[in-house]
């Protein structure tokens, strides 16, 4: 029996190789996985042309996944440093990489990325359109927008972020004012500008079925972008954001009718007390579709440390129902991140994702923490390093400050609680003064 997409296969009872991979990784019955995929609450982004993919599932009952943003820009257009970041991101086990390239040899970078990456790959085609056609944004035609989309999926991209829900009605809400930061989504702002100058509807909203045709043909997942995501705490959960979310829920059902997989993108910036409610609202309005969030950043006043503000929000969001976290680096709002910035962002987001999985009771998540606790109780430093989320930094810290006794550290020395409890429980003498 033939199938068009992973969702179509699940609905027909066909077990694909990608489903087998995900079921094994998640330690779940493939029948349960297929049931969730058929409903749309789990997705497996897997372009038919991405032959190096090691498939991952995102959504209900899955481990929280992590995305890394990369890409070349006009100010930083050298491909090789970005490829170094790609390799580092894969070494740090990122499940997804988004290519946000907007200038220069974007197709070359995209094709090299897809060729080597077992992680799923996403892009935002409208970023590429301006540089690709080398013309003013307002002069790009509807056909040209869709031609760029087709180029991306032909190159093997697994999911596309497209801001289909920012239609003219919602754009009018933005113009009515009340926001401190207006539209901070790059893709959303480009489409808003195109609509305003041309006095036309968002082409991806008006011609949504045309977009679904392309996604269905290549089995590409549609990541419905949040053009009105809040760019500061003040703008969170306002009419613009909620109205766009309602539209995204309607577009989700239309995609599912075509067996096109969907995930929903979410905020942005948001106070901690609003996060759980927003996660519940998205799941309700978008019918349980997987939720992909950027942060959210829980304060606006920590530039240079936004990997921390985002990790706090990401942990709360994932604990409350978000399925997929986009990393944020210390360089957020300031510059294109360096390799070190990227590593800091990945680790911070990985901490948030794992902490949420523990809180949600994801099977086996706490076992990792228990193993670390046993290694600490035994003062087994090598095992601690082996179990660490980032083995490099803790090893460097210990090597930089050696204790007098191997079964302690330079913080407590012979007053180490763990050392002394082990000794006293073993019937050994404890001497603190020699």
Mark the binding-site residues for substrate, compressed into ranges: 69, 98, 127, 163, 185-187, 226-229, 265, 292
C-alpha span between 68 and 346 (Å, rounded): 7
C-alpha span between 362 and 383 (Å, rounded): 23
Taking a C-beta distance cutoff of 8 angstroms, is the pair 419, 408 a contact?
Answer: yes
Burial class (CB in 10 A: 0-12, 13-18, 19+), 73: middle
Residue numbers in the known binding site for Zn(2+) are: 269, 333
Residues with Cβ within 8 Å of 26's Cβ and at least 6 positions away in sequence, in order, are: 33, 57, 61, 62, 63
Taking a C-beta distance cutoff of 8 angstroms, is the pair 260, 288 a contact?
Answer: no
Residue numbers in the known binding site for [4Fe-4S] cluster are: 409, 412, 416
Residue numbers in the known binding site are: 69, 98, 127, 163, 185-187, 226-229, 265, 269, 292, 333, 409, 412, 416
Closest CA to 238 of 283, 180, 280: 180
Query: Left if phi > 0, otherwise alpha if psi is -120 to 50, otherwise beta: which for 344?
Result: alpha
Q: What angle do CA 123, 308, 386 make, to 5 degrees?
A: 85
C-alpha span between 264 and 241 (Å, rounded): 13
Instruction: Give 7's DSSP letter.
Output: H
């Amino acid at each position: 029996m033939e199938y068009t997409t992973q969702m179509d296969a699940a609905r027909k009872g066909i077990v694909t190789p990608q489903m087998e991979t995900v079921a094994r990784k998640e330690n779940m019955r493939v029948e349960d996985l297929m049931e969730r995929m058929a409903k749309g609450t789990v997705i497996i982004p897997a372009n038919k042309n991405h032959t190096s993919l090691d498939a991952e599932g995102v959504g209900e009952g899955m481990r929280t996944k992590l995305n890394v943003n990369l890409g070349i820009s006009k100010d930083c257009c050298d491909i090789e440093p970005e490829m170094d970041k790609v390799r580092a991101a894969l070494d740090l086990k990122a499940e997804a990489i988004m290519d946000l390239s907007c200038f220069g040899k974007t197709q070359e970078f995209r094709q090299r990325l897809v060729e080597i990456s077992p992680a799923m790959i996403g892009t935002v085609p409208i970023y590429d359109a301006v540089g690709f056609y080398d013309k003013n944004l307002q002069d790009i035609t509807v056909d040209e927008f869709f031609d760029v989309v087709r180029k991306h999926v032909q190159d093997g991209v697994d999911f596309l972020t497209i801001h289909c829900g920012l239609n003219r009605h919602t754009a009018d809400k933005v113009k009515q004012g009340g926001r401190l930061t207006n539209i901070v989504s790059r893709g959303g702002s480009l489409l808003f500008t195109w609509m305003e100058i041309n006095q036309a509807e968002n082409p991806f909203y008006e011609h949504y079925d045309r977009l679904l045709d392309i996604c269905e043909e290549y089995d590409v997942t549609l990541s419905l972008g949040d053009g009105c995501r809040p760019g500061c705490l003040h703008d969170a959960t306002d009419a613009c954001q909620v109205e766009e979310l309602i539209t995204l829920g309607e577009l989700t059902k239309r995609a599912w009718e075509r067996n096109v997989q969907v995930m929903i993108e979410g905020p942005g910036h948001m106070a901690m007390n609003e996060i759980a409610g927003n996660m519940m609202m998205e799941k309700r309005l978008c019918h349980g579709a997987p939720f992909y969030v950027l942060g959210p950043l829980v304060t606006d006043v920590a530039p240079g440390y936004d990997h921390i503000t985002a990790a706090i929000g990401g942990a709360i969001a994932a604990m409350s129902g978000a399925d997929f976290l986009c990393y944020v680096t210390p360089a957020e709002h300031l510059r294109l991140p360096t390799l070190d910035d990227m590593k800091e962002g990945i680790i911070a987001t990985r901490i948030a994702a794992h902490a949420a999985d523990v809180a949600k009771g994801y099977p086996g998540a706490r076992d990792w923490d228990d193993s670390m606790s046993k290694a600490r109780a035994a003062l087994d430093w090598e095992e601690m390093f082996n179990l660490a989320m980032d083995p490099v930094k803790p090893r460097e810290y210990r090597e930089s400050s050696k204790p007098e006794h191997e079964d302690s550290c330079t913080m407590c020395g012979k007053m180490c609680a763990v050392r002394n409890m082990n000794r006293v429980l073993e019937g050994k003498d404890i001497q603190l003064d020699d």
